[in-house]
Amino acid sequence: MCPQRIISLVPSQTELLFDLGLDNEVVGITKFCIHPADKVTNKCIIGGTKTLNISKIKELNPDFILANKEENSQEQIDELQGRYPVLVTDVITVSDALAMIREVGDRIGKRQEAVDLAQQIGDALCSGTVLSPQRVAYLIWRNPFMVAADQTFIHSMLEVAGFSNAFSHRTRYPEITAEDLQTVKPDLLFLSSEPYPFSEKHIAELQAICPDTRIVLVDGELFSWYGSRLLRSSDYFRKLRTELAASQS
């Protein structure tokens, strides 16, 4: 039987559930689940991704919970798995994301819809993009500075977008110093809109550290959300590459 009371603990996977047509079945989401805006407003908030309100989850009595290894707390997931069916996804590459979409579709009774969605995303993202010699440092946090390095979904998406990760010699999300940035001498410095909300006011600070580096504000959702929002990433990457090329000519 397909689940009828679903709780999603991950923003990108929440959006996926709605885009697969489960408007009524989704009963609980996190406070960070903001898409689709018109459909999340009336859903019960069960805390943050790493600060789940277990009591609220129990009140909702879910028959399926969708979680993620990186975004949720292992201790809380272990507790929930003792009570409910929980699918814990693990997404590091674009291939992982496509497999996750298909697996979620199988579990919620939307197999064909998920297969079609994964095919559409795969065709768009993996259409033969040639890796640029431009080396990118992708900042996700400030005070301390943190970057997305190897073995992250963002690293995979940077490659899909046609860039080389300047911190590919590091793993996960290391803290770095201003000196580290100066040492790697990236051609481009991407300031992500999430999880830290970088904005125009931060550009001067980073430009003083890397005067010869082009600094660009980027949409973090389109680099890091591994659900149905990936449908929008290909066009965004194409536009970003075009704008960068135009600025250099």
Query: pLDDT for 61-101, tens place per residue?
Result: 999 999 999 999 999 999 999 999 999 999 999 999 999 99
Please tell me whether residues 103 and 206 are part of one structural domain: no
CATH of the domain at 63: 3.40.50.1980
Asked whether the beta carbons of 210 and 101 are under 8 A apart, the reply is: no
Question: For the chain, how are helix, strand and coil distributed in percent, rounded to 5?
Answer: 45, 20, 40
The whole-number pLDDT of residue 128 equals: 55
Please tell me whether residues 120 and 12 are part of one structural domain: yes
Amino acid at 95: S
In a domain, 130, yes or no: no
Cis peptide before 195 (omega within 30 of 0): yes
In a domain, 52, yes or no: yes
For 149-175, write each residue's pLDDT tens digit. Answer: 999 999 999 999 999 999 999 999 999
Please tell me whether residues 14 and 120 are part of one structural domain: yes
CB atoms within 10 A of CB 83: 13
Region 231-248: mean pLDDT is: 89
The whole-number pLDDT of residue 172 equals: 96
pLDDT at 130 over 60: no
- The share of the chain scoring above pLDDT 90, in percent, equals 91
Please tell me whether residues 87 and 144 are part of one structural domain: no
Residue where a domain terminates, one of 63, 92, 125: 125
For residue 115, what are the domain limits?
A: 6-125
Number of H helices, E strands in the chain: 11, 11
Please tell me whether residues 147 and 84 are part of one structural domain: no
Closest CA to 205 of 160, 147, 139, 150: 139
The whole-number pLDDT of residue 107 equals: 96
The whole-number pLDDT of residue 246 equals: 82
In a domain, 206, yes or no: yes
pTM, two decimal places: 0.93
Please tell me whether residues 152 and 173 are part of one structural domain: yes
CA–CA gap between residue 242 and residue 201 (Å, rounded): 24
Asked whether the beta carbons of 109 and 2 are under 8 A apart, the reply is: yes
Region 208-230: mean pLDDT is: 96
Please tell me whether residues 120 and 201 are part of one structural domain: no
Amino acid at 180: D
Region 7-17: mean pLDDT is: 98
Tell me the β-bridge partners of 146: 141, 175
Please tell me whether residues 69 and 175 are part of one structural domain: no
In a domain, 1, yes or no: no
CA–CA gap between residue 98 and residue 26 (Å, rounded): 21
pLDDT at 249 over 80: no
Residue where a domain terminates, one of 95, 125, 155: 125
CB atoms within 10 A of CB 197: 11
The whole-number pLDDT of residue 106 equals: 96
Amino acid at 57: I
For 28-51, write each residue's pLDDT tens digit. Answer: 999 999 999 999 999 999 999 999
Category of 24 on φ-ψ map: left (φ > 0), alpha (ψ -120 to 50) or beta: alpha
pLDDT at 127 over 80: no
Residue bearing the bigger pLDDT, 43 or 133: 43
Q: What domain count does the chain have?
A: 2
The whole-number pLDDT of residue 119 equals: 96
The whole-number pLDDT of residue 1 equals: 78
Closest CA to 193 of 139, 124, 236, 149: 139
Residue where a domain terminates, one of 80, 99, 125: 125
CA–CA gap between residue 97 and residue 155 (Å, rounded): 13
CB atoms within 10 A of CB 81: 14
